[in-house]
Structure 1
Amino acid sequence: MSTEELQKEVKSSIIETLKEDPEYEGVEVIDLSLIHKDGNEYVGILNVLEPNTFAEAWNRLLK
């Protein structure tokens, strides 16, 4: 399996895992990058967009 194929599988798995956990509601996966180090070892960088719950709470208080 190529690094790109693995990257797609891992990204899909992470998205599904986040959807199943209410603690991560509103978290959006933007990108995943995998870099092959050696054998079955990879380094990954996951970019996510998190809701700004502090700002949302503050805005509700100001209304």
Structure 2
Amino acid sequence: MEQIVRADIAAFGAGRAEMANAMIEQSGMRVRPDRNRGRSAGINPSGRFEPVSRHVFDDGWNSLEELPP
């Protein structure tokens, strides 16, 4: 799951806003106050206007382990 999606889920849970803020701070997506301009966007993830998102994960196809007999 994307970091921003996890932050949204955490933010809208009952009494969980602190956890969402901590997750966004750790992700590095929050815009620094000196770069905060326009409509004061608090976060600026890359590709946020793209209709699709891609995630890298290991599906095991390129592993060099031996196959079981």
Q: Which of the five TM-score ranges fits, normalised by the shorter chain?
A: 0.3 to 0.5
Relative contact order (alpha carbons < 8 A, sep ≥ 6): 1 or 2 greater?
Answer: 1
Say which structure is richer in strand.
Answer: 1
Give me the TM-score of the superposition, normalised by structure 1. 0.34
Say which structure is richer in helix.
Answer: 1
